[in-house]
Structure 1
Amino acid sequence: MSHGHIDEEEKGKLEEKFIESVALPGFSDEDADILFRYEGTKGKEVIRKIDFHLLPVLAFLYLCSHVDRNNMGNAKIEGMNDDLGLVGNQYNIASTLFFVPYIIFEIPSNIVLKKTRPSLWLSLQVVAWGIVMACMGAVKGFASLTVCRVFLGICEAGFFPGAVYLVTQWYPPHEIQQRLALLYTASAISGAFSGLLAYGIANMGGLQNIAGWRWIFILEGLVPVAFGLALPFLLPDGPGKVKWLTPEEQRFIDLRFRQAGARSAEGEGDQFSWSMLLGTMLDWKILLAVVLAMVNAAPNAAFSYTMPTIINKLGFEASKAQLLTIPPYFCGAVSSWLSGRLADRFSWRFPFIVAPMIVMLISFIMLFVLSANIEQYKAPMYFAIILAQIGIYPLLPGISAWTGNNLPQSWKRSIGIAWLLAAGNTGSFIGTNVFLEWQAPHYTIGYGVSIGIIVLGIVTCCILEFFLWRLNKVKRSIPESQTREQFTPDKLVAMGEKSPLYIYTL
């Protein structure tokens, strides 16, 4: 709605009608007046201001984390395995052990994030993982490589759960997925950027008598160290803690959450407790979402560590294989962003999760069938790799947004998102161990296991949608007037998703 070029009488009627439309319990006339004045262009300017200060910082850091996490695949085809004397499945073991501390420390990290200044806590993590990555350029064998991977997992564990939680603190539920998609798009771009960067850095091989693959680790570690030191001055901690928002704009942001039913005038209605922690970890909705997250994690981890090798085994030399990783990741980035936009526009998560899974299923079936005759089907197999990224990259933003949308209380949402990502990342153990070197380039086990996981995810997604739909049907059968007579507005918010008025996002 635009409020320009109308006379005062008409404006008064519009404002009166608008105030009636937002006359929710707990809203004052002043609250409604602020919402009216920020409806349209003025409100969009505030949202753009938030986007400008928050998203580029988080996206760049997520790009750095994925570059640093996945550059082992690039280093491998530049000679790392031979120089370190890795044999058998030692590369797979080193890749997998990253995820052990990564999974363990995600929930503790988000608990610390809630109790401290987020920008300082994330800054510490970013600087630490950059130092560890640079140290990987000096590893001498399997043991030192494994130790570095374990420490890298500890340092990176809290970043993405923390970033997702921060996004949910700034945007109401119907605007979350496209923002998370922008973050996850950065991880897709990192895949493309990592290949291009590795291609350039590898040409430094011999400089200072240091191998090219070692330079990949050293240089890609120094960047997050430098950026992490500046993070406390760049990352906004919350709407009430920044100077680039006026007090009225800060109030407008709070009112948007209240209008969406995500909080009351008293806040989001929960406190940390051990029973709440246990209840969150056993919540059936989150456990089903964990299965969906595993469908993202397993193929994503597999491609992150093996895509350069897979393309290399299709018959392309190492340098060309690095460059050929760029188009798949670019297409994944576009897919993630477009899916997020549509999901927020329609306020419906399910179709934008199950459809990418179906695309991914088709791609893995193609790879499984065509790998029987690599020489004849190089081009279709490369197309299938691109198709797989189109299916993979919309998943985690959609699953994270769907889960976050259905956890209205602040502490439960923080822990629930961390638990979702931590438990979902157990799929990475599968992804990094089913693409076996001795099966290259056919990878029968890798493609077969991935197909089974994707089918499980499609079924799980449909089950979650059905039960949320049934719960909403029951809630809508209870008259709203009856509920409001029985409970105060603050009590309804304190009840969270158990409130009869709370409708789950489908």
Structure 2
Amino acid sequence: MAPDKESSLDVERKSVLDECVVHKAPWTAFPGHLHEYMRSGLSEEDAQFLYRIPKKEQDRIFHKVDWRLCPMLAILYLISHLDRANIGNAKIEGLEDTLGMSGTDYNVTLMVFFVPYVLCEVPSNMILAKFQRPSYYMGALILCWGTFRMALFYCASAASGAFSGLLAAAIAKMNGVGNYEGWRWIFILEGLATVIMGVAVFWLLPDSPGHAAGRWLTEDESHFLRLNHIMTRGVLKKPVEEEGKRKRVDWKLFWTVVKDWQIYLQAMIFASNAVPNYGLKFTMPQILRNMGYTSTSAQLLTAPPYACGAISALLSSLLADRFTWRMPFIVSAQALLVVAYAILFAKAEDIRNNVALCYFAVHVACVGIYPILPGCNAWTINNLAGPAKRAIGIAMMICIGNLGGIVGSFIYQEREAPKYPTGFGSSLSFAAAGMVCALTLEFLYWRLNKKGEEKTEDEWKEVYSEEELDRLGDRSPLFRYQL
């Protein structure tokens, strides 16, 4: 697997390894990461295999997986949120009038989605962990999503928001075709695209390195990825489970996650995205109509703010990865939300005389909304030890955070148009509360890291056994929280 030209560091590593192997040195004498590989429960043969692969070759394998996996998942994410986004577009095309909605009927319709969403998030991730072929499970979910029209009603990612307005403006021109209103065709055509993608997932979504071996991964590449997974799962000295072996639900771990304080702070950070995000997505076309634009113009004018949000999310994530520091990029995004909603709260009452300023504020809101979610998810995952706790923890955080979707469904009341004091004020408040939680979390992580640095690794091992340190997971004094 070695590349044509190896760095001097790679050559030196192999030389040290060969010397240890020839002299049959004990594993404690092996250099650097090899020591950690063997301590993790890998056999000597597997540890040597992993250690011999140069960094450049490892990066090439990871990039190969990225190019195969990420585009497919990105398309599924886009389709999922494109479906959810369209109720706001359908509303200004006559949905309420056709269905005889009045009062809070529209808000209740929005809210209905979030009840099963919140209830099913954690169980779904626990079920997914039991599937040997994730593509089967995800394909079935997406296929069901595409054939259940009510699921098409809800909200929102930045890219899907930009597409939804453009598509809705075009599809709405089909008004009257087949005796269907334009807003019905929005759901029908985009639901059809979802069904097609759901079927395609069964064949196109990669499942695991083992299933890809001999197809688009070589046997050595597949073996490397499996061993790397063992190394990064955060569990020491536990036997490696055979691929595909069914595991029982670990209820003890589940309750550990339920009692983890960081999950609730992260959930509030998530909610500082969810409330403004869902509320704005459901209402943006109507806000733009309140400025005096026609339905078609309002649909088209939703695209630029979401495009800015998508760029903002990408740049923020790249910078956060570059500096390996999540908090500043989350807090700065939340600060933009505070500014945007302060402008809208103050100026929306006379929105037709403040069109430019309010439309600018909508852009600022989207720029602030979309960096929060990827930053929050990455921050949560980085600070939970072990894949099982990560899976349950991220699901729990999203589950609680998505309660903000229920809030977002009700904060924009038509009787308050065009000022929407409850909508703009609530969004501002959640953004400010999220800032407090992010700063608090940063301080607590920093303090725990400092506490862990009070003793050396060997000194901590005099206080705790290796089994105890392993069992403590991210509560171990040797664990370092990512800021």
Q: Which residue of 1 aligns with 2:217?
A: 245
TM-fit CA distance, 1:466: 0.7
Inter-partner Cα distance in structure 1 for 2:76 and 2:233: 31
SS of 1:25 mapped into structure 2: helix
Match of 1:474 among 451, 465, 468: 451
Alignment of 1:25-44 (within 5 A): 25-27=36-38, 28=44, 31=47, 34-35=50-51, 37-40=53-56, 42-44=57-59
Q: Which residue of 2 aligns with 1:22?
A: 33
TM-fit CA distance, 1:122: 1.1
1:457 partnered with 2:429: no
Larger Rg: 2
Q: Which residue of 2 aligns with 1:94?
A: 109
Inter-partner Cα distance in structure 2 for 1:333 and 1:35: 39
TM-fit CA distance, 1:10: 8.0
TM-fit CA distance, 1:114: 0.8
SS of 2:35 mapped into structure 1: coil
TM-fit CA distance, 1:488: 7.0
TM-fit CA distance, 1:38: 3.1
1:345 partnered with 2:322: yes
Match of 1:131 among 138, 147, 169: 147
Inter-partner Cα distance in structure 2 for 1:496 and 1:488: 13
Match of 2:177 among 196, 207, 211: 207
Whether the 8 Å contact between 2:341 and 2:365 is mirrored in structure 1 is yes
List per-residue Cα deviations over 1:406-465 (Å, max 9, x = no partner): 112222211111111111011111111111111111111111111111111111111111
Inter-partner Cα distance in structure 1 for 2:411 and 2:162: 23
Letter of the structure 1 residue corresponding to residue 60 of structure 2: E
Inter-partner Cα distance in structure 2 for 1:3 and 1:489: 37
SS of 1:78 mapped into structure 2: helix
Against the structure 1 CA distance between its residues 272 and 412, is the aligned structure 2 distance closer, same or farther, given a 3 Å change threshold?
farther
SS of 2:478 mapped into structure 1: coil
List per-residue Cα deviations over 1:262-307 (Å, max 9, x = no partner): 3446479997332321221221000111111111110011011111
The alignment-based identity, stated in percent, is 40
Inter-partner Cα distance in structure 2 for 1:343 and 1:377: 35
SS of 1:203 mapped into structure 2: helix
Inter-partner Cα distance in structure 2 for 1:268 and 1:280: 23
Match of 2:194 among 202, 210, 224: 224
Cα RMSD (Å)? 2.7
Match of 1:309 among 264, 286, 289: 286
Whether the 8 Å contact between 2:290 and 2:351 is mirrored in structure 1 is no
Against the structure 1 CA distance between its residues 29 and 242, is the aligned structure 2 distance closer, same or farther, given a 3 Å change threshold?
closer
Inter-partner Cα distance in structure 2 for 1:505 and 1:10: 28
TM-fit CA distance, 1:337: 1.0
Q: If the length of structure 1 is used for normalisation, what is the TM-score?
A: 0.84
TM-fit CA distance, 1:16: 4.7
Q: Which residue of 1 aligns with 2:11?
A: 12
SS of 1:24 mapped into structure 2: helix
Q: If the length of structure 2 is used for normalisation, what is the TM-score?
A: 0.87
Letter of the structure 2 residue corresponding to residue 49 of structure 1: K
Inter-partner Cα distance in structure 2 for 1:189 and 1:456: 26
List per-residue Cα deviations over 1:166-220 (Å, max 9, x = no partner): xxxxxxxxxxxxxxxxxx9xx2111010111111111111111111111111111
List per-residue Cα deviations over 1:86-136 (Å, max 9, x = no partner): 111111110111111111111111111111232111111101110012xxx
Against the structure 1 CA distance between its residues 257 and 284, is the aligned structure 2 distance closer, same or farther, given a 3 Å change threshold?
same
Alignment of 1:69-84 (within 5 A): 69-84=84-99
Letter of the structure 2 residue corresponding to residue 229 of structure 1: V
Which residues of structure 1 form unaligned runs of 5+?
A: 134-147, 157-183
SS of 1:69 mapped into structure 2: helix
Inter-partner Cα distance in structure 1 for 2:253 and 2:375: 25
**What is the number of equivalent residue pairs in this alignment?**
457
Against the structure 1 CA distance between its residues 5 and 250, is the aligned structure 2 distance closer, same or farther, given a 3 Å change threshold?
closer
